[in-house]
Chain A
């Protein structure tokens, strides 16, 4: 390396990445409005959790609607450890992550023998069981009343003074998820995951142990999702079963990843940049007047997006060889759709 002139073009991607990263860390400091900072925290958090979902479900194709379980485990474990034993949520975060891995492995051995819709249902059932346990195990979780964390701002207790600090912590988590996804996309592990998504029999015939691969991918995904859960608990400072262990959550996470682009490291980030502000703004604009109107509009926008770019925002824009084709394709697709409706 020494003596040779520095080859910038080789590391072009790396430098661009660095510039974007620095920009991402500087931009939030310029935002003063609490509303937009709150939105930013949520955008980053959802991108992070959807990114974690994307690891097992996007790359590996093991579609799960039970990720809320891992999120809930992360939130409850760190909060209970903090409230009952005074253990800092930074450690609780890891404890929650490891417990989530334990559950992922147990669930994996039981349900990875199932395929298609049956597997999806088993993940839903798993999350539902945890939700019911958390409602009825009142001595520990205080049931539907929920647990609230007393506000004593301190870095040690992971209760931060202002939203900007939360943005930075969330960005670090997102960066972790992104780097893992980026590595997966280029590694042997990732190639094998994508092969498994394509066809399990063919993957097995090429020496891939699909059961083991699914369990490893789900464990990574569960661990990261649980970290997101702890962060959520520390940010909202109140957790209860219906929001963090409900099916809504799982669907939202899956949706962000699907809309953004499944099996792409950037997919969930784009998905969250699009969906999270959309749902928040719609609720802000229409939430007051007609009850439920914002849900209808939100749903319609999502349906339109899924019809026109089913492969996700990322693949639609960058996935194809020639970028200029994107709008051409979109228009021709649109024309076809109209044609179908007419006949």
Chain B
């Protein structure tokens, strides 16, 4: 579904991404892990068109999207959430989700219906008339997902949707991601909470200093020596 080949991205003299390959197949939940500053979010930004890579090639469903702009990529069916949530603060929760739905539906009332459904999925339906700016952090993260969901993507990028949440909220989010996956949406997640990653993902890649240092199933990753050294730590061998 998505092929990323030999992507390079440099910020000044710093290699943010170096020869990164990644292949996401349809129906998977794909994990992206690595220490802070490893280039995970940069990879998201490159794929979704917020940055352009210096060299390399990205294909989505057979189409070359390497040089496409972010809104064009979104219209092809790739949607993302932001690590630092970006709600439209002066609009209601429903309004926020409606914006997402309007990328596929042209009429506002129909888009609102669509938006209500996605709010139902994430569990924000009872707060639809509140201004998005007055939501709590965890609700903002849900809203971010609902908005992306309303745009009916085929491939969804979730950037640390669980960070800053309480343990019970993390469990709820894990269930939510499973539910979204059951709709037939392929998902790529960045996350630091290893238990969540291990439970959700079919396949994981590990980035470190912009380079891919490991790839495989959760089991394989948890036994990979270089991954343990760079990120998981000795204690993780359990």
Interface residues of A (CB under 8 A from B): 186-188, 191-192, 194-195, 197-199, 201-210, 263
Q: Is the CB of A187 within 8 A of B71?
A: no
- Least Cβ distance of B43 to chain A in Å? 15
Q: Is the CB of A206 within 8 A of B151?
A: yes
Residues of chain A lying within 8 A (CB to CB) of residue B95: 191, 194
Residues of B114-129 whose CB lies within 8 A of A:
none
Q: Is the CB of B108 within 8 A of A186?
A: yes
Complex Cα distance A205/B103, Å? 10
- When A187-B108, A188-B108, A191-B98 are in contact, do A205 and B70 touch as well, CB less than 8 Å? yes
Nearest opposing residue in chain B for A190, CB measure: B108
Residues of chain A lying within 8 A (CB to CB) of residue B89: 198
Chain B: how many interface residues by the 8 Å CB criterion?
29
Contact of A188 among B48, B50, B80, B106 (CB under 8 A): B106
Q: Is the CB of B88 within 8 A of A201?
A: no
Residues of chain A lying within 8 A (CB to CB) of residue B87: 198-199, 202
Contact of B82 among A194, A202, A210 (CB under 8 A): A202
Q: Is the CB of A207 within 8 A of B108?
A: no
Residues of B168-207 whose CB lies within 8 A of A:
none
B218 at the A/B interface (Cβ < 8 Å)?
no
Q: Is the CB of B100 within 8 A of A206?
A: yes
- When A191-B98, A199-B88 are in contact, do A204 and B71 touch as well, CB less than 8 Å? yes
Complex Cα distance A59/B50, Å? 24
A-B contacts at CB below 8 angstroms, number: 79
B147 at the A/B interface (Cβ < 8 Å)?
yes
B74 at the A/B interface (Cβ < 8 Å)?
yes
Residues of chain B lying within 8 A (CB to CB) of residue A208: 71, 99, 103
Interface residues of B (CB under 8 A from A): 48, 50, 69-71, 74-75, 79-80, 82, 86-91, 95, 98-100, 102-103, 106-108, 111, 147-148, 151
Complex Cα distance A187/B110, Å? 12
Q: Is the CB of B82 within 8 A of A192?
A: no
Residues of chain B lying within 8 A (CB to CB) of residue A191: 95, 98-99, 102, 108, 111
Q: Is the CB of B50 within 8 A of A206?
A: no
Q: Which 7 A-B pairs have the closest CB atoms?
A: A198-B88, A207-B103, A207-B74, A202-B86, A204-B70, A199-B86, A195-B99
Q: Is the CB of B151 within 8 A of A207?
A: yes
Q: Is the CB of A194 within 8 A of B102?
A: no
Q: Is the CB of B88 within 8 A of A188?
A: no
Q: List 17 A-B contacts (CB under 8 A).
A: A188-B106, A188-B111, A191-B95, A194-B95, A195-B88, A198-B88, A198-B89, A199-B88, A201-B50, A202-B86, A203-B99, A205-B70, A206-B99, A207-B74, A207-B103, A208-B99, A209-B71
Complex Cα distance A195/B99, Å? 7
Contact of B88 among A187, A194, A204, A210 (CB under 8 A): A194
Known A204-B74, A205-B71, A205-B80; 14 more pairs at CB < 8 Å: A191-B98, A191-B111, A198-B86, A198-B89, A201-B86, A202-B82, A202-B87, A204-B69, A204-B71, A205-B70, A206-B71, A206-B79, A209-B69, A263-B90
Complex Cα distance A106/B106, Å? 28
Nearest opposing residue in chain A for B157, CB measure: A205
- Least Cβ distance of A105 to chain B in Å? 19
Complex Cα distance A202/B103, Å? 12
Residues of chain B lying within 8 A (CB to CB) of residue A206: 71, 74, 79, 99-100, 102-103, 147-148, 151
